[in-house]
Amino acid sequence: MRKLILTLVVAMGGTLFLLNAANKARYRMLSKADSGPVEILVVGDQPFPVRAIDPVLLVGKESCAQYRWLEDPNSIAFTCPEVERLADNAPMAVDYAGDENARVQVGVFNRPRN
């Protein structure tokens, strides 16, 4: 069985980036708290696409819609308003309105320990 990889060409600031649905990412906590908001940095192995649809960080059944682009096009910082709602060991992904071809798997969320 062959694996089909969708490749997109995206122009960012006059530069063309090749993106494919096989993009993988990792995360790290930029802020740690037992309750309230936390910021999670997601770093992909290739640039995230700039689209008309905003990216959302899915953590299990919860979604974090507030984000900011960083200078590195492979990175997005998401703010999750209530860390206590994020399930420990929940799967994480960057999602674009349910478009499974553009979804980027991030890994598993581990609740911050102070």
pLDDT tens readout for residues 17-76: 334 444 678 888 888 888 889 999 999 988 888 888 999 999 999 999 999 999 999 999
Confidence of residue 80 (pLDDT cuts 50, 70, 90): very high
Largest CA distance in the chain: 46
Give the pLDDT of residue 114.
59
Give residue-wise pLDDT tens across range 84-97: 999 999 999 999 98
Q: What angle do CA 90, 93, 95 make, to 5 degrees?
A: 135
**C-alpha span between 5 and 95 (Å, rounded):** 17
Quick check: 72 and 51 in contact, CB under 8 A? no
Delineate the domains of the chain, giving CATH numbers in brackets. Answer: 7-109 (2.60.40.10)
The H or E element spanning position 94 is strand 90-95
31's CB contacts (< 8 A; 6+ apart) are 37, 38, 39
